[in-house]
Structure 1
Amino acid sequence: MQKINPFHLAFPVDDLDKARHFYGTVLGCAEGRSSPQWIDFDFFGHQIVTHLVSEKVIQHHNPVDSHQVPVPHFGVVLDWDVFHTFAERLKAAGVAFVIAPYIRFQGQVGEQATMFFLDPAGNALEFKAFQDIGQLFAK
């Protein structure tokens, strides 16, 4: 398997102070460089940049495993134990889930733990984990 390199993602937020609190304090992402218009964060080893814009994010949904998955969304695949610890941290912080943590495709190819929630600007995030990481791209 090829080594996966960190990705870079830039996305809109409508309030940098709320973004700084949510990504830095609630999610625990270290802050990198910033300006009055953007903030870099270390998002589980990947670089994300929150850019200040005036519009709200428009959400759509697609059905997946009896849930309405928000589109667009972004996130990362975590280790199984890290996912569950992180989910408990989010619950304790009062994060409102779009799709609460559960096991998707239970007993099927691609079985995974997953959860979805929104940042303060309405950007959808998905975190997932596999007991068998070989199921990540399984058909």
Structure 2
Amino acid sequence: MPVQPFHLAFPVDDLDAARAFYGGLLGCAEGRSADHWIDYDLYGHQIVAHLAPGRGGRQASNAVDGDEVPVPHFGVVLAMDDFHALAARLRAAGVAFIIEPHIRFAGLPGEQATMFFLDPSGNALEFKAFADIGQLFAKQ
């Protein structure tokens, strides 16, 4: 079955800051917008930043392979080269990582590159990549 794009709506405190982060730093093309929301193309998936001051941000975490993974979070699975290019762009921009880019589950089924960081409203994002995309749903 071909991969279908997903749709995700999330809260932000400031639409100008969201534009700078999602459109500028992450390079997401802007789609439709209004005075209280903006559509973005996140690697072929539709995400929508909705103005809702005070509603975003990290609320909890779960331990995963030695890291405290923020909950909730969202992001996409990238090709390995795209993952490394994005990590370099984020580092060059001075983004503070919650979880630095690294390999998780090394040598195990599901081995993956992963990184976590926050948008300006405190929403946690994860980007990951697999050397073997066939391992995406591999069980430990």
Distance across 1 between alignment mates of 2:75 and 2:52: 21
Pair 1:11 & 2:5 matched: no
Q: CA deviation at 1:54?
A: 2.1
Q: CA deviation at 1:56?
A: 3.6
Distance across 2 between alignment mates of 1:83 and 1:54: 30
Partner amino acid, structure 1, of 2:89: R
1:32 aligns with 31
Report if the CA contact (8 A) 1:56-1:122 is conserved.
no
Distance across 2 between alignment mates of 1:119 and 1:110: 26
2:120 aligns with 120
1:129 aligns with 129
- RMSD in angstroms over aligned alpha carbons? 0.8
Please give the TM-score of this superposition, normalised by the length of structure 2: 0.96
SS of the residue 1:134 aligns to: helix
Long gaps (5+) in structure 2: none
Distance across 2 between alignment mates of 1:7 and 1:94: 29
Partner amino acid, structure 1, of 2:14: D
| % identity of equivalent residues | 70
Q: How many residues align?
A: 138
